[in-house]
Protein backbone atom coordinates (compact mmCIF):
# COMPACT_ATOMS: atom_id res chain seq x y z
CA UNK A 1 0.00 0.00 0.00
CA UNK A 2 1.27 3.46 -0.86
CA UNK A 3 -0.01 6.31 1.30
CA UNK A 4 2.02 9.08 -0.29
CA UNK A 5 -0.90 11.34 -1.30
CA UNK A 6 -0.79 14.59 0.66
CA UNK A 7 -1.79 18.15 -0.03
CA UNK A 8 1.24 20.19 -1.20
CA UNK A 9 2.82 21.69 1.93
CA UNK A 10 3.84 25.02 0.43
CA UNK A 11 0.38 25.69 -0.93
CA UNK A 12 -1.38 24.13 2.07
CA UNK A 13 0.30 26.79 4.20
CA UNK A 14 -1.59 29.59 2.47
CA UNK A 15 -4.47 31.43 4.10
CA UNK A 16 -6.94 28.95 2.58
CA UNK A 17 -8.37 26.97 5.48
CA UNK A 18 -9.28 23.28 5.28
CA UNK A 19 -10.67 21.72 8.41
CA UNK A 20 -8.33 18.85 9.49
CA UNK A 21 -11.03 16.15 9.24
CA UNK A 22 -11.78 17.16 5.62
CA UNK A 23 -8.09 17.27 4.81
CA UNK A 24 -7.61 13.73 6.14
CA UNK A 25 -10.70 12.47 4.29
CA UNK A 26 -9.50 13.99 1.01
CA UNK A 27 -6.01 12.55 1.39
CA UNK A 28 -7.35 9.04 1.99
CA UNK A 29 -9.84 9.23 -0.89
CA UNK A 30 -7.07 10.43 -3.22
CA UNK A 31 -4.70 7.69 -2.04
CA UNK A 32 -7.37 5.04 -2.70
CA UNK A 33 -7.66 6.29 -6.28
CA UNK A 34 -4.00 6.99 -6.99
CA UNK A 35 -2.23 4.10 -5.33
CA UNK A 36 -4.86 1.47 -4.54
CA UNK A 37 -4.61 2.23 -0.82
CA UNK A 38 -7.02 0.45 1.52
CA UNK A 39 -9.13 3.04 3.34
CA UNK A 40 -9.60 0.85 6.42
CA UNK A 41 -5.82 0.58 6.83
CA UNK A 42 -4.77 4.09 5.81
CA UNK A 43 -7.44 6.14 7.58
CA UNK A 44 -6.44 5.23 11.19
CA UNK A 45 -2.83 6.12 10.37
CA UNK A 46 -3.79 9.48 8.91
CA UNK A 47 -6.10 10.26 11.83
CA UNK A 48 -3.30 9.50 14.27
CA UNK A 49 -0.77 11.51 12.28
CA UNK A 50 -3.12 14.52 12.21
CA UNK A 51 -3.77 14.14 15.97
CA UNK A 52 -7.52 14.48 15.43
CA UNK A 53 -9.72 14.56 18.51
CA UNK A 54 -12.56 12.05 18.87
CA UNK A 55 -15.16 14.24 17.16
CA UNK A 56 -12.90 15.11 14.22
CA UNK A 57 -11.82 11.48 13.86
CA UNK A 58 -15.47 10.45 13.64
CA UNK A 59 -16.11 13.17 11.03
CA UNK A 60 -13.09 12.13 8.95
CA UNK A 61 -14.26 8.51 9.07
CA UNK A 62 -17.80 9.38 8.02
CA UNK A 63 -16.63 11.65 5.20
CA UNK A 64 -14.15 9.09 3.88
CA UNK A 65 -16.33 6.00 4.00
CA UNK A 66 -19.50 7.83 3.00
CA UNK A 67 -17.84 9.35 -0.06
CA UNK A 68 -16.25 6.06 -1.15
CA UNK A 69 -19.49 4.11 -0.68
CA UNK A 70 -21.66 6.52 -2.62
CA UNK A 71 -19.07 7.40 -5.27
CA UNK A 72 -21.10 5.85 -8.09
CA UNK A 73 -24.21 7.85 -7.23
CA UNK A 74 -22.25 11.05 -6.67
CA UNK A 75 -20.52 10.67 -10.04
CA UNK A 76 -23.92 10.63 -11.72
CA UNK A 77 -24.92 13.78 -9.81
CA UNK A 78 -21.64 15.52 -10.68
CA UNK A 79 -22.00 14.60 -14.37
CA UNK A 80 -25.48 16.15 -14.43
CA UNK A 81 -24.37 19.28 -12.57
CA UNK A 82 -21.20 19.73 -14.62
CA UNK A 83 -22.91 18.79 -17.87
CA UNK A 84 -20.01 16.51 -18.77
CA UNK A 85 -18.85 12.99 -18.13
CA UNK A 86 -16.79 12.52 -14.98
CA UNK A 87 -14.15 10.91 -17.22
CA UNK A 88 -13.53 14.41 -18.59
CA UNK A 89 -12.80 15.85 -15.13
CA UNK A 90 -9.29 15.97 -13.66
CA UNK A 91 -9.15 13.01 -11.19
CA UNK A 92 -7.88 15.12 -8.27
CA UNK A 93 -10.71 17.63 -8.77
CA UNK A 94 -13.21 14.80 -9.15
CA UNK A 95 -12.14 13.57 -5.69
CA UNK A 96 -12.80 17.08 -4.33
CA UNK A 97 -16.22 17.14 -5.97
CA UNK A 98 -17.14 13.71 -4.63
CA UNK A 99 -16.20 14.75 -1.09
CA UNK A 100 -18.08 18.03 -1.44
CA UNK A 101 -21.16 16.32 -2.90
CA UNK A 102 -21.27 13.89 0.00
CA UNK A 103 -21.28 16.78 2.46
CA UNK A 104 -24.02 18.59 0.56
CA UNK A 105 -26.36 15.63 0.01
CA UNK A 106 -25.76 13.29 2.94
CA UNK A 107 -24.57 15.29 5.95
CA UNK A 108 -25.61 18.28 8.04
CA UNK A 109 -22.48 20.20 7.09
CA UNK A 110 -23.42 23.79 6.28
CA UNK A 111 -23.48 24.52 2.55
CA UNK A 112 -20.99 27.39 2.80
CA UNK A 113 -18.52 25.18 4.70
CA UNK A 114 -18.86 22.28 2.24
CA UNK A 115 -18.41 24.52 -0.81
CA UNK A 116 -15.78 26.92 0.50
CA UNK A 117 -13.49 24.28 1.95
CA UNK A 118 -13.85 22.14 -1.17
CA UNK A 119 -12.77 25.14 -3.22
CA UNK A 120 -9.81 25.58 -0.88
CA UNK A 121 -8.74 21.98 -1.47
CA UNK A 122 -9.22 22.46 -5.22
CA UNK A 123 -6.87 25.48 -5.09
CA UNK A 124 -4.21 23.29 -3.53
CA UNK A 125 -4.52 20.29 -5.86
CA UNK A 126 -5.70 21.81 -9.15
CA UNK A 127 -5.40 24.75 -11.51
CA UNK A 128 -6.99 28.21 -11.19
CA UNK A 129 -9.71 27.21 -13.67
CA UNK A 130 -10.40 24.07 -11.64
CA UNK A 131 -11.17 26.24 -8.62
CA UNK A 132 -13.93 28.07 -10.47
CA UNK A 133 -15.21 24.82 -11.92
CA UNK A 134 -15.39 23.23 -8.45
CA UNK A 135 -17.21 26.23 -7.06
CA UNK A 136 -19.72 26.22 -9.93
CA UNK A 137 -20.48 22.51 -9.80
CA UNK A 138 -20.93 22.37 -6.03
CA UNK A 139 -23.11 25.49 -5.98
CA UNK A 140 -25.29 23.91 -8.69
CA UNK A 141 -25.62 20.76 -6.61
CA UNK A 142 -26.44 22.78 -3.49
CA UNK A 143 -29.43 24.43 -5.18
CA UNK A 144 -31.42 21.16 -5.28
CA UNK A 145 -32.31 18.74 -2.50
CA UNK A 146 -30.94 15.23 -2.16
CA UNK A 147 -34.33 13.81 -3.18
CA UNK A 148 -34.44 15.98 -6.30
CA UNK A 149 -31.00 14.75 -7.34
CA UNK A 150 -32.06 11.17 -6.65
CA UNK A 151 -35.03 11.55 -8.99
CA UNK A 152 -32.88 13.09 -11.74
CA UNK A 153 -30.30 10.32 -11.47
CA UNK A 154 -32.93 7.56 -11.54
CA UNK A 155 -34.65 9.18 -14.53
CA UNK A 156 -31.42 8.61 -16.46
CA UNK A 157 -31.02 4.95 -15.52
CA UNK A 158 -31.21 2.30 -18.24
CA UNK A 159 -33.18 -0.68 -16.96
CA UNK A 160 -33.93 -2.24 -13.57
CA UNK A 161 -30.40 -3.22 -12.54
CA UNK A 162 -28.90 0.10 -13.67
CA UNK A 163 -31.53 1.89 -11.60
CA UNK A 164 -30.59 -0.21 -8.56
CA UNK A 165 -26.92 0.37 -9.30
CA UNK A 166 -27.50 4.13 -9.45
CA UNK A 167 -29.65 4.43 -6.35
CA UNK A 168 -27.51 2.17 -4.14
CA UNK A 169 -24.16 3.14 -5.65
CA UNK A 170 -22.93 -0.26 -6.87
CA UNK A 171 -21.44 -1.17 -10.26
CA UNK A 172 -24.12 -2.78 -12.44
CA UNK A 173 -22.13 -6.01 -12.81
CA UNK A 174 -22.01 -6.37 -9.02
CA UNK A 175 -25.79 -5.88 -8.82
CA UNK A 176 -26.25 -8.67 -11.39
CA UNK A 177 -23.85 -10.95 -9.50
CA UNK A 178 -25.66 -10.39 -6.20
CA UNK A 179 -29.01 -10.99 -7.86
CA UNK A 180 -27.74 -14.29 -9.25
CA UNK A 181 -26.44 -15.37 -5.83
CA UNK A 182 -29.77 -14.58 -4.18
CA UNK A 183 -31.62 -16.32 -7.00
CA UNK A 184 -29.62 -19.49 -6.27
CA UNK A 185 -31.30 -19.46 -2.85
CA UNK A 186 -34.76 -18.57 -4.19
CA UNK A 187 -34.46 -15.12 -2.54
CA UNK A 188 -34.02 -12.83 -5.56
CA UNK A 189 -36.56 -10.41 -4.09
CA UNK A 190 -34.04 -9.46 -1.36
CA UNK A 191 -31.70 -7.70 -3.79
CA UNK A 192 -32.63 -4.14 -2.77
CA UNK A 193 -32.34 -4.95 0.95
CA UNK A 194 -28.85 -6.35 0.30
CA UNK A 195 -27.69 -3.30 -1.66
CA UNK A 196 -29.01 -0.97 1.04
CA UNK A 197 -27.29 -3.02 3.78
CA UNK A 198 -23.95 -2.69 1.98
CA UNK A 199 -24.15 1.08 2.53
CA UNK A 200 -24.66 0.82 6.29
CA UNK A 201 -21.48 0.87 8.40
CA UNK A 202 -20.77 -2.53 9.95
CA UNK A 203 -20.92 -3.03 13.69
CA UNK A 204 -17.63 -3.51 15.53
CA UNK A 205 -17.56 -7.24 16.18
CA UNK A 206 -15.10 -8.96 18.51
CA UNK A 207 -14.13 -12.57 19.16
CA UNK A 208 -13.00 -13.96 22.52
CA UNK A 209 -10.60 -16.84 21.82
CA UNK A 210 -12.10 -19.93 23.49
CA UNK A 211 -10.02 -21.35 26.34
CA UNK A 212 -7.65 -18.38 26.18
CA UNK A 213 -9.68 -15.19 26.77
CA UNK A 214 -10.26 -14.55 30.48
CA UNK A 215 -13.46 -13.46 32.20
CA UNK A 216 -11.85 -10.03 32.66
CA UNK A 217 -11.20 -9.89 28.90
CA UNK A 218 -14.80 -10.72 28.08
CA UNK A 219 -16.06 -8.13 30.58
CA UNK A 220 -14.52 -5.47 28.31
CA UNK A 221 -16.79 -6.50 25.45
CA UNK A 222 -20.42 -5.66 24.77
CA UNK A 223 -23.38 -7.90 24.08
CA UNK A 224 -23.10 -11.48 22.88
CA UNK A 225 -23.45 -12.07 19.15
CA UNK A 226 -26.78 -13.29 17.83
CA UNK A 227 -25.15 -16.33 16.23
CA UNK A 228 -21.42 -16.86 16.85
CA UNK A 229 -20.87 -18.38 20.33
CA UNK A 230 -17.42 -16.77 20.52
CA UNK A 231 -18.49 -13.29 19.43
CA UNK A 232 -19.53 -9.94 20.86
CA UNK A 233 -20.77 -6.62 19.51
CA UNK A 234 -18.53 -3.94 20.99
CA UNK A 235 -20.56 -1.34 22.86
CA UNK A 236 -17.95 1.40 22.54
CA UNK A 237 -14.32 2.33 22.95
CA UNK A 238 -11.28 1.71 20.83
CA UNK A 239 -11.23 -1.98 19.78
CA UNK A 240 -7.52 -1.90 18.99
CA UNK A 241 -6.72 -0.56 22.47
CA UNK A 242 -8.75 -3.43 23.94
CA UNK A 243 -6.89 -5.95 21.76
CA UNK A 244 -3.57 -4.59 23.01
CA UNK A 245 -4.75 -4.53 26.60
CA UNK A 246 -5.86 -8.18 26.36
CA UNK A 247 -2.68 -9.16 24.47
CA UNK A 248 -4.66 -10.52 21.52
CA UNK A 249 -6.93 -12.84 23.51
CA UNK A 250 -9.83 -10.79 22.20
CA UNK A 251 -9.76 -9.58 18.61
CA UNK A 252 -11.78 -7.73 15.99
CA UNK A 253 -13.48 -10.34 13.81
CA UNK A 254 -16.72 -10.37 11.85
CA UNK A 255 -19.35 -12.76 13.13
CA UNK A 256 -19.54 -14.49 9.75
CA UNK A 257 -15.80 -15.18 9.81
CA UNK A 258 -16.17 -16.76 13.24
CA UNK A 259 -19.00 -18.99 12.00
CA UNK A 260 -16.90 -20.04 9.00
CA UNK A 261 -13.97 -21.12 11.19
CA UNK A 262 -16.21 -22.79 13.77
CA UNK A 263 -18.05 -24.73 11.04
CA UNK A 264 -14.82 -26.66 10.49
CA UNK A 265 -14.14 -27.39 14.17
CA UNK A 266 -17.81 -28.34 14.76
CA UNK A 267 -18.19 -30.45 11.60
CA UNK A 268 -17.78 -33.59 13.72
CA UNK A 269 -16.46 -34.46 17.20
CA UNK A 270 -12.74 -33.69 17.55
CA UNK A 271 -10.35 -36.53 18.38
CA UNK A 272 -7.20 -35.74 20.33
CA UNK A 273 -4.15 -35.70 18.10
CA UNK A 274 -5.92 -34.44 14.99
CA UNK A 275 -3.79 -32.34 12.63
CA UNK A 276 -5.43 -29.24 11.10
CA UNK A 277 -4.31 -26.83 8.39
CA UNK A 278 -5.36 -23.25 7.64
CA UNK A 279 -4.22 -23.22 4.02
CA UNK A 280 -4.52 -19.49 3.16
CA UNK A 281 -4.19 -18.08 6.66
CA UNK A 282 -3.37 -14.40 6.11
CA UNK A 283 -4.00 -12.13 7.96
CA UNK A 284 -4.59 -14.72 10.69
CA UNK A 285 -7.95 -14.01 12.34
CA UNK A 286 -9.52 -17.39 11.54
CA UNK A 287 -6.19 -19.12 12.25
CA UNK A 288 -6.17 -17.68 15.78
CA UNK A 289 -9.71 -18.91 16.43
CA UNK A 290 -8.98 -22.36 14.98
CA UNK A 291 -5.72 -22.62 16.96
CA UNK A 292 -7.66 -21.88 20.14
CA UNK A 293 -10.26 -24.49 19.20
CA UNK A 294 -7.58 -27.06 18.37
CA UNK A 295 -5.71 -26.41 21.63
CA UNK A 296 -8.90 -26.89 23.67
CA UNK A 297 -9.50 -30.33 22.15
CA UNK A 298 -5.95 -31.65 21.92
CA UNK A 299 -5.55 -31.07 18.19
CA UNK A 300 -2.74 -29.23 16.39
CA UNK A 301 -3.03 -26.42 13.84
CA UNK A 302 -0.53 -25.50 11.16
CA UNK A 303 -1.04 -22.18 9.38
CA UNK A 304 0.16 -21.53 5.83
CA UNK A 305 0.43 -18.21 4.02
CA UNK A 306 2.33 -17.74 0.78
CA UNK A 307 3.00 -14.00 1.04
CA UNK A 308 5.75 -13.27 3.57
CA UNK A 309 4.31 -9.97 4.81
CA UNK A 310 0.94 -11.64 5.40
CA UNK A 311 2.66 -14.60 7.08
CA UNK A 312 4.11 -12.07 9.52
CA UNK A 313 0.57 -10.88 10.26
CA UNK A 314 -0.43 -14.52 10.87
CA UNK A 315 2.42 -14.98 13.35
CA UNK A 316 1.35 -11.80 15.14
CA UNK A 317 -2.27 -13.01 15.25
CA UNK A 318 -1.15 -16.34 16.74
CA UNK A 319 1.01 -14.71 19.42
CA UNK A 320 -1.87 -14.99 21.91
CA UNK A 321 -1.79 -18.81 21.65
CA UNK A 322 0.38 -20.11 24.53
CA UNK A 323 1.86 -22.93 22.45
CA UNK A 324 3.89 -22.33 19.31
CA UNK A 325 1.81 -22.63 16.13
CA UNK A 326 3.89 -23.47 13.07
CA UNK A 327 3.49 -21.03 10.15
CA UNK A 328 4.52 -22.18 6.68
CA UNK A 329 5.09 -19.98 3.65
CA UNK A 330 4.22 -22.48 0.93
CA UNK A 331 2.38 -22.21 -2.38
CA UNK A 332 -1.03 -23.54 -1.38
CA UNK A 333 -1.64 -25.06 -4.80
CA UNK A 334 1.29 -27.45 -4.09
CA UNK A 335 0.12 -28.55 -0.63
CA UNK A 336 -1.13 -31.97 -1.83
CA UNK A 337 2.18 -32.57 -3.57
CA UNK A 338 4.17 -31.61 -0.46
CA UNK A 339 1.89 -33.03 2.25
CA UNK A 340 -0.43 -35.64 0.66
CA UNK A 341 -3.20 -37.05 2.83
CA UNK A 342 -1.75 -35.47 5.97
CA UNK A 343 -4.53 -33.43 7.58
CA UNK A 344 -7.76 -34.28 9.41
CA UNK A 345 -9.29 -30.85 8.82
CA UNK A 346 -8.40 -28.03 6.43
CA UNK A 347 -9.75 -24.51 6.21
CA UNK A 348 -9.49 -23.05 2.72
CA UNK A 349 -10.44 -19.40 3.05
CA UNK A 350 -9.80 -18.84 -0.62
CA UNK A 351 -8.51 -15.59 -2.15
CA UNK A 352 -11.60 -13.92 -3.64
CA UNK A 353 -13.02 -10.61 -4.81
CA UNK A 354 -14.16 -9.68 -1.29
CA UNK A 355 -17.55 -8.55 -2.56
CA UNK A 356 -19.07 -9.85 0.67
CA UNK A 357 -17.36 -7.20 2.80
CA UNK A 358 -18.38 -4.00 1.04
CA UNK A 359 -19.56 -2.47 4.34
CA UNK A 360 -16.00 -2.61 5.66
CA UNK A 361 -14.07 -1.99 2.43
CA UNK A 362 -16.24 0.50 0.52
CA UNK A 363 -13.69 1.08 -2.24
CA UNK A 364 -13.65 -2.61 -3.21
CA UNK A 365 -16.81 -2.32 -5.28
CA UNK A 366 -15.12 0.21 -7.59
CA UNK A 367 -11.74 -1.55 -7.70
CA UNK A 368 -12.91 -5.03 -8.70
CA UNK A 369 -13.81 -5.93 -12.28
CA UNK A 370 -15.59 -8.94 -13.83
CA UNK A 371 -12.26 -10.21 -15.19
CA UNK A 372 -11.02 -10.53 -11.59
CA UNK A 373 -13.67 -13.20 -10.97
CA UNK A 374 -12.46 -15.27 -13.92
CA UNK A 375 -8.81 -14.90 -12.89
CA UNK A 376 -9.52 -15.88 -9.29
CA UNK A 377 -11.62 -18.88 -10.30
CA UNK A 378 -8.54 -20.64 -11.69
CA UNK A 379 -6.66 -20.11 -8.42
CA UNK A 380 -9.66 -21.13 -6.32
CA UNK A 381 -10.07 -24.38 -8.29
CA UNK A 382 -6.35 -25.12 -7.95
CA UNK A 383 -6.47 -24.53 -4.20
CA UNK A 384 -9.56 -26.67 -3.58
CA UNK A 385 -8.00 -29.55 -5.52
CA UNK A 386 -4.79 -29.21 -3.53
CA UNK A 387 -6.68 -29.04 -0.23
CA UNK A 388 -8.69 -32.18 -1.02
CA UNK A 389 -5.46 -33.96 -1.92
CA UNK A 390 -3.91 -32.96 1.43
CA UNK A 391 -6.85 -34.36 3.41
CA UNK A 392 -6.63 -37.72 5.10
CA UNK A 393 -9.31 -40.19 4.00
CA UNK A 394 -12.26 -39.27 6.21
CA UNK A 395 -10.97 -35.70 6.64
CA UNK A 396 -13.07 -32.54 6.33
CA UNK A 397 -12.46 -29.43 4.24
CA UNK A 398 -14.21 -26.09 4.80
CA UNK A 399 -14.23 -24.07 1.56
CA UNK A 400 -14.89 -20.44 2.47
CA UNK A 401 -15.04 -17.15 0.58
CA UNK A 402 -15.91 -13.62 1.60
CA UNK A 403 -17.84 -13.26 -1.63
CA UNK A 404 -21.30 -14.43 -2.61
CA UNK A 405 -20.48 -14.43 -6.36
CA UNK A 406 -21.63 -17.87 -7.56
CA UNK A 407 -18.59 -18.27 -9.81
CA UNK A 408 -16.42 -18.09 -6.68
CA UNK A 409 -18.70 -20.19 -4.49
CA UNK A 410 -21.15 -22.79 -5.81
CA UNK A 411 -19.39 -22.96 -9.17
CA UNK A 412 -16.01 -23.84 -7.63
CA UNK A 413 -17.56 -26.43 -5.31
CA UNK A 414 -19.61 -28.03 -8.11
CA UNK A 415 -16.53 -28.36 -10.31
CA UNK A 416 -14.55 -29.95 -7.47
CA UNK A 417 -17.34 -32.42 -6.65
CA UNK A 418 -17.50 -33.43 -10.30
CA UNK A 419 -13.74 -33.89 -10.50
CA UNK A 420 -13.57 -35.82 -7.22
CA UNK A 421 -16.77 -37.83 -7.81
CA UNK A 422 -16.85 -41.00 -5.74
CA UNK A 423 -14.14 -39.81 -3.34
CA UNK A 424 -15.58 -36.57 -1.92
CA UNK A 425 -19.01 -35.79 -0.48
CA UNK A 426 -20.66 -32.53 0.47
CA UNK A 427 -21.78 -32.48 4.13
CA UNK A 428 -24.94 -30.85 5.51
CA UNK A 429 -23.19 -27.53 6.17
CA UNK A 430 -26.43 -25.79 7.15
CA UNK A 431 -27.06 -28.33 9.94
CA UNK A 432 -23.51 -27.89 11.28
CA UNK A 433 -23.72 -24.10 11.34
CA UNK A 434 -27.21 -24.15 12.88
CA UNK A 435 -25.95 -26.53 15.59
CA UNK A 436 -23.23 -24.15 16.78
CA UNK A 437 -25.23 -20.93 16.47
CA UNK A 438 -26.59 -19.07 19.51
CA UNK A 439 -29.95 -18.73 17.74
CA UNK A 440 -31.55 -20.07 14.57
CA UNK A 441 -30.19 -18.65 11.34
CA UNK A 442 -32.49 -17.86 8.43
CA UNK A 443 -30.72 -19.96 5.78
CA UNK A 444 -31.97 -20.74 2.30
CA UNK A 445 -31.13 -22.93 -0.66
CA UNK A 446 -29.18 -26.19 -0.83
CA UNK A 447 -28.16 -27.17 2.75
CA UNK A 448 -24.77 -28.40 1.57
CA UNK A 449 -23.71 -24.73 1.56
CA UNK A 450 -24.33 -21.76 3.82
CA UNK A 451 -24.49 -18.24 2.45
CA UNK A 452 -24.53 -15.50 5.10
CA UNK A 453 -25.73 -11.99 4.21
CA UNK A 454 -25.39 -8.46 5.62
CA UNK A 455 -29.11 -7.71 5.22
CA UNK A 456 -30.35 -11.03 6.64
CA UNK A 457 -27.79 -11.86 9.32
CA UNK A 458 -25.86 -8.64 9.93
CA UNK A 459 -22.60 -10.41 8.96
CA UNK A 460 -20.29 -10.17 5.99
CA UNK A 461 -21.55 -12.26 3.04
CA UNK A 462 -19.50 -15.35 3.91
CA UNK A 463 -19.95 -18.55 1.92
CA UNK A 464 -19.21 -21.89 3.61
CA UNK A 465 -19.24 -25.44 2.24
CA UNK A 466 -18.04 -28.51 4.17
CA UNK A 467 -16.63 -31.35 2.07
CA UNK A 468 -15.64 -34.78 3.31
CA UNK A 469 -13.00 -36.97 1.70
CA UNK A 470 -14.44 -40.46 1.84
CA UNK A 471 -12.51 -43.22 3.64
CA UNK A 472 -10.51 -45.52 1.35
pLDDT, tens digit, 9 for 90 and up, residues 102-158: 999 999 999 999 999 999 999 999 888 899 999 999 999 999 999 999 999 999 999
Average model confidence (pLDDT) across the chain: 94
Q: Which of 427, 415, 342 is nearest to 385 (CA)?
A: 415
pLDDT value, residue 8: 54
Averaged pLDDT, 430-440 = 98
In the annotated binding site, the residues are 280-286, 305, 331, 349
HSE at residue 429, side-chain half, CA atoms within 13 A, is 31
Handedness of CA 135, 137, 143, 145 (dihedral sign): negative
Q: For the CA atoms of the chain, what is the radius of gyration?
A: 24
Sequence-distant (6+) residues with CB within 8 A of 80 are 149, 152, 153, 156
HSE at residue 82, side-chain half, CA atoms within 13 A, is 25
> Which range has the worst mean pLDDT, 87-91, 213-217, 240-244, 375-379?
240-244
HSE at residue 46, side-chain half, CA atoms within 13 A, is 32
pLDDT value, residue 12: 43
**Above pLDDT 70, what percent of the chain?**
97
Active-site residues, by number, are: 402
**Above pLDDT 90, what percent of the chain?**
90
pLDDT value, residue 7: 58
Judge whether residue 15 has pLDDT over 60.
no
Instruction: Place 6 in a pLDDT band, splitting at 50, 70 and 90.
Output: low
Q: Is 20-151's fold the same as 254-469's?
A: no
pLDDT value, residue 128: 83
In the annotated binding site for S-adenosyl-L-methionine, the residues are 280-286, 305, 331, 349
Q: What is the pLDDT of residues 400-420, one digit of tens each?
A: 999 999 999 999 999 999 999
Q: In what helix (H) or strand (E) does residue 319 lie, and over which residues does it extend?
A: none
The structure's pTM equals: 0.92
Q: What is the pLDDT of residues 276-321, one digit of tens each?
A: 999 999 999 999 999 999 999 999 999 999 999 999 999 999 999 9
Coil, strand or helix at 309: helix
Coil, strand or helix at 105: helix
Averaged pLDDT, 186-201 = 97
Indicate the CATH number of 20-151 among 3.30.429.10, 1.10.940.10, 1.10.3430.10, 3.30.830.10.
1.10.940.10
Q: Which of 52, 49, 134 is nearest to 100 (CA)?
A: 134
Judge whether residue 1 has pLDDT over 70.
no
DSSP 143: T
CATH code of the region 254-469: 3.40.50.150
Judge whether residue 5 has pLDDT over 60.
no
Report domain extents, the chain.
Answer: 20-151, 254-469
Amino acid sequence: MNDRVQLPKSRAATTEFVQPARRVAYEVIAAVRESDAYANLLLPTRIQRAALNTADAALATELTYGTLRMQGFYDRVIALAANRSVDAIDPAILDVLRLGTHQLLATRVATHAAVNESVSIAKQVGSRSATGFTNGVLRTISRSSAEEWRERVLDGAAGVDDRLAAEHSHPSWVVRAFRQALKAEGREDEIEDLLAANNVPAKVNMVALPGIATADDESLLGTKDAYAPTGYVLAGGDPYHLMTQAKGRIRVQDEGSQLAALALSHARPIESGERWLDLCAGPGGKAALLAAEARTHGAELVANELVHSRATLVRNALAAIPENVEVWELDGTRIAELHPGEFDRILLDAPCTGLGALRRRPEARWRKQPKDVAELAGLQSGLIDAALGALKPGGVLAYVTCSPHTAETRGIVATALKKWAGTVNALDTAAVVQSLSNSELDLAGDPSSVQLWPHRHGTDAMFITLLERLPD
